């Protein structure tokens, strides 16, 4: 198994999509990229910790490649908006790839170069080494699965899930 750590707005959105992919065994919402050890959701939301909301994706590279995960990532969020995804604003909602190896760093750079061809504005996604990952509080786990009718889930998350289904149907779990 391998790990990918990605930030693209609210971690509930990313978790909901990546959980559906073949080869993904686990998706953990959490925080990365900041200086405060063991941050809480409330602390991260202040924008003072430096952390982004992220998902850590455990996947089988024999079933789905890291590059495939990046292709999904760059399809389901807007990598051209700095510190924002839709109405969610602040540094905790920035777009970032936290790489685990030089190979992942190279793949991230290649994915950005390819994705840039589909976006009119420049991609602002950070590519930085993962130094520390802090799992989010338990109440964030499986948020969309547990709350599909909640307003945010219906208005923000469901369209991202639908977009992933449309573009990556063959990569979805049965």
d(CA 108, CA 102): 10
Q: Report the run of H or E that residue 116 belongs to, with start and end.
A: none
User: In which residue are the tokens 């850590």 written?
Assistant: 56
Q: Which two tokens stand for residue 157?
A: 């998350």
d(CA 150, CA 139): 14
Catalytic residue among 10, 13, 45, 153: 10
- β-partners of residue 56 are 5, 28
45 is catalytic: no
- Find, among 54, 56, 53, 55, the residue nearest to 2 by Cα: 56
| Residue 14: φ, ψ to 5° | -65, -45
Catalytic residue list: 10
């Amino acid at each position: 198994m391998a790990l990918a750590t990605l930030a693209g707005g609210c971690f509930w959105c990313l978790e909901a999509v990546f959980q559906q992919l073949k080869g993904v065994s686990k998706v953990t919402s959490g925080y990365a990229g900041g200086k405060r050890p063991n941050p809480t959701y409330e602390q991260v939301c202040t924008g003072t910790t430096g952390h982004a909301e992220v998902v850590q994706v455990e996947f089988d590279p024999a079933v789905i490649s890291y590059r495939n995960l990046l292709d999904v990532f760059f399809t389901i969020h807007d990598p051209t908006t700095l510190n924002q995804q839709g109405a969610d604003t602040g540094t905790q909602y920035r777009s970032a790839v936290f790489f685990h190896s030089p190979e992942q760093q190279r793949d991230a750079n290649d994915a950005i170069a390819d994705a840039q061809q589909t976006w009119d504005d420049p991609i602002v996604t950070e590519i930085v080494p993962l130094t520390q990952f802090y799992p989010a509080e338990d109440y964030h786990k499986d948020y969309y699965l547990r709350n599909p009718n909640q307003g945010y889930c219906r208005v923000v998350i469901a369209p991202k899930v639908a977009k992933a289904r449309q573009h990556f149907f063959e990569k979805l779990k049965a």
